[in-house]
Amino acid sequence: MIVMKFGGTSVEDASALCNVAQIVAARRYLKPLVVLSACAGVTNVLIKTAHDAAAGNKKEAMKGFAALQERHNTIAEELLGPESHRAKEVFESDFAELRQLVHGLSILNELTPRALDQIVAHGERWSSRLLSLFLLRERIPAEYVDARTVMITGNEFTKAAPLFDIIQEKAEKILQPLLDEGKIIVTQGFIGATKEGITTTIGRGGSDYSASIFGAVSNADEIQIWTDVDGFLTADPKIVSDARRIKEMTFTEAAELAYFGAKVLHPSTILPAVQKSIPVRVLNSRRPEGEGTLITNTAPAYPGCVVKSVAYKKGITVIGIQSTRMLMAHGFLARVFEVFERYKKSVDVVVTSEVGVSLTVDTEADVEAIEAELARFADVKVEKNKVVFCVVGERMKLTKGVAARVFHALAESGVNVELISQGGSEINLTFVVDESDVEKTVRALHREFFSDNYDEAGLVDEIPE
C-alpha cells in the first residue's frame, strides 16, 4: 500500500478535489491511504475566527464562520450535485456547534489551546468528507476515517506529540481491516486526540508528519507528499523563479533542509519514514505525470553534484555570550546550556571561541529571561531579526572549496555573514545573515551552485529553453 497526502492548495476548491480524486483513482491498484489537509487558507481563518470570538468580537467571528460554511457548501454543490446535502448536513451540524462556541468564548474572554484545537481540527474533516463522498459518487470504495480514532497523542494542545505504540495498535485494529477489504481510506492530517478522546493538533504544517506516521504504522511501500510544486527544489521557488527539481536526495539531506525552513516538507516527516526505511516522494498535484523528488536512505551519488539545495529560517535571534573567565575555565559551556535547558529552549546553531559562544534560537519567547540569567556570569548581546541559512549536500564533506565558493558568492553580492558553522552533520554549511539580505543571499547561492552551466550530474531537471 501507499500513503498519498494532499496539501491545502491541492484541495482548495471543487476542481482541485476532482483532480485529487482522479490522481487517487489512477493509483487505486497501489492501495492508497489518502491523508488530506484543510482546503487552502481554512486553518488560518479558523484560528483568526477563534481569536475574534475570544476577544469578544462576536460579529466578526460569526462572519468568519458563515464565510467558511458558504465556501464548503459551494464546493459540495459543485462537486456532488444533488448529493451535496449529505456533506451540507454534516457542515451545518459542525457550524451550529462552532456558533455556540463563539458565545461561550466571548463570555469567557479566553482562548485555551485546547479550545483552539477543538475549533481548528474541523478544517481537515471538512475537506476529507468532501473527497470521500465524491469518490463514493464515482463508485470508488472510499471509507472516511476520523483520524482522531487512530492518531493518539499527548495533551500538548496545538503541538501534541503522537504516541507511536498506541497509534500502531489502533492502525492494526482500525485501518488494516479496511485496507484488507480493498477500501480506499480517506483521513485527515494534522489532527489527533488524546487517549481520553479530546481533540488535538500536532503543529502547523503537520499533515506531512501525519502522512509519514500513517505510512510507518501501515508498513507502506511509499509515502507520497502531493503539493503545488514539482518536488523538492534547489531553492524556494517563491524567491528563485528558476529553482529546479532535485530528482533524488537522502533522508539526511531532506531532514536538514526541512528543519532549516524548506516549507515543502514538515521537519518531522522524515523520522517515521527513516525508522521503517520507507521512501518518501514529493509530487505536484497540478502536474501528476511528473516524477517528483524521491527521498531514500541511499540516493545515488552523482559525481558533479555537491550542493543539493539551500534553505533558510527567518525570525532568528542570535545570542552572543562572552566571558573573559571562559578562557581556560571548564564548565562554562555547561553553565550556559543549563540555562537554555531550564527554559526548554532549543538551540539551532552554536559557535564557540576562546572567550565566547554565539548561538541561535528560533523564537523570541523567554529570550529576555535567559539574557538576564546569562548576564549574571557573562556579557550578553542579543540580536533579533536574523536568518539562518543552510546549504546542504551529501558530497560537501568530500569536496574541497565549497565554503570558499559560498562566501565568495556572498561577498560579491555585498552580503555580510555574521556567524558560520560547518561540520555539525557533515552535510551542511550553516550561517547567519540579516533579514534584509535574505533574497540577495538565496539568489547569490543559487547563481553560484545551480546556474545554467550546472547539471553535469543530471541531478536536477534540464534547464528550460
Sites of contact with ligand ADP (CB under 6 A): 7-10, 37, 205, 227-229, 232-233, 235-238, 262-264, 309
Which among 291, 153, 151, 296 is positioned nearest to 222, based on CA atoms?
296
- Interface residue with ligand ASP, options 114, 159, 204, 276 (CB under 6 A): 204
Q: Considering the complex, state which of residue 35 and residue 61 has its C-beta at the smaller distance from ligand ASP.
A: 35
Binds 204, which of Mg ion, ligand ASP, ligand ADP, none (CB < 5 to 8 A, cut-off by type)? ligand ASP
- To the nearest whole angstrom, how small is the minimum distance from the Cβ of residue 44 to ligand ASP? 7
Least separation in angstroms between residue 349's CB and ligand ADP is 19
Q: Residue 94, Cβ neighbours under 10 Å: how many?
A: 18
266 or 345, CB closer to ligand ADP?
A: 266
State how far the Cα of 12 lies from the Cα of 320, in Å rounded to an integer: 44
Of 133, 143, 226, 134, the residue nearest 185 (C-alpha)? 143
Of 152 and 460, which CB lies nearer to ligand ADP in the complex structure?
460
- Build a one-symbol-per-residue string for 36-65: x at contacts with ligand ASP by CB under 6 A, - elsewhere: -xx----x----------------------
Q: Which amino acid is at 236?
A: D
Least distance (Å) between residue 4 CB and Mg ion: 14
Residue 236 binds what, of ligand ASP, Mg ion, ligand ADP, none (CB under 5 to 8 Å, by partner type)?
Answer: ligand ADP
Alpha helices in 286-362 (DSSP H): 332-342
Neighbours of 426 (CB within 10 A): 11
Q: Residue 129 or 313: which CB sits closer to ligand ADP?
A: 313
* Candidate segments 35-43, 49-57, 93-101, 349-357, binder of ligand ASP by CB under 6 A: 35-43
Give the residue with the Cβ less far from ligand ADP, 295 or 380. Answer: 295
| Site residues (CB under 6 A) for ligand ASP, limited to 333-362 | none
The rounded radius of gyration (Å) of the Cα atoms in the chain is 24
Residue with Cβ nearer ligand ASP (207 or 224):
207
With H, G, I as helix, E, B as strand and everything else as coil, classify residue 123.
helix
Least Å distance, CB 43 to ligand ASP, is: 4
Query: Which of 151, 233 has the CB closer to ligand ADP?
Result: 233
For the beta sheet containing 222-227, the strands, ordered from the edge strand earlier in sequence to the opposite edge, are 142-144, 184-188, 32-36, 2-6, 222-227, 280-284, 293-296, 248-250
Write down the least CB distance from residue 186 to ligand ASP, Å. Answer: 15
Taking CA 211 as the corner, what is the angle to CA 206 and CA 217, rounded to the nearest 5 degrees? 125
The minimum distance between CB 332 and ligand ASP, in angstroms, equals: 40
Q: What is the C-alpha end-to-end distance of the chain, expressed in Å? A: 38
Nearer to ligand ASP, 45 or 145 (CB): 45
Question: SS3 for 112?
Answer: coil
312, 261 Cβ separation under 8 angstroms = yes
Among 19, 101, 117, 123, binds ligand ASP (CB under 6 A): 123
Residues of the shown chain interacting with Mg ion in the complex, contacts defined by CB under 5 A: 7, 205
Which partner from the list Mg ion, ligand ASP, ligand ADP, none does 229 bind, CB cut-off 5 to 8 Å by kind?
Answer: ligand ADP
Rounded-to-integer distance, Cα 319 and Cα 352, Å: 12
Residues 96-103: contacts with CB within 8 Å, 24+ apart?
Answer: 98/65, 98/122, 99/62, 99/65, 101/53, 102/53, 102/58, 102/61, 102/62, 102/65, 103/58
Q: Does 200 bind ligand ASP (CB under 6 A)?
A: no
Let me know: does 113 contact 2? Beta carbons within 8 Å: no
The CB-of-207 to ligand ASP minimum distance in angstroms stands at: 3
By beta carbon distance, the residue nearest ligand ADP is: 7
38, interface contact from Mg ion, ligand ADP, ligand ASP, none, CB < 5-8 Å by kind? ligand ASP
Residue 267 interacts with which of ligand ADP, ligand ASP, Mg ion, none, CB < 5 to 8 Å by class:
none
Q: Which residue has the cell 474541523?
A: 122
Q: Any idea of the CA torsion for 284, 133, 218, 161, to the nearest 10 degrees?
A: 80
Beta bridge partners of 284: 227
Which residue is closest to Mg ion by CB? 205
**What letters, b where the CB count within 10 A reaches 16 and e where it falls short, cover 221-240?**
ebbbbbbbbbbbbbbbbeeb
Closest approach, Cβ 42 to ligand ADP, in A, equals 11
Task: Please report whether residue 162 would count as binding ligand ASP according to CB under 6 A.
Answer: no
Q: How far is the CB of 264 from ligand ADP (least distance, A)?
A: 4
Instruction: Using alpha carbons, list the distances in angstroms from residue 331 to 319, 334, 461.
Output: 19, 5, 50
Instruction: Find the shortest distance in angstroms from Cβ 11 to ligand ASP.
Output: 10
Q: Which is nearer to ligand ADP, 27 or 263 (CB)?
A: 263
Binders of ligand ASP in range 180-199 (CB under 6 A): 189-190
Min dist CB 307 to ligand ADP, Å, is: 12
Question: Does residue 158 contact residue 204 with C-beta atoms inside 8 Å?
Answer: no
Write out the residues near ligand ASP by the rule CB under 6 A: 7-8, 37-38, 43, 123, 189-190, 204-207
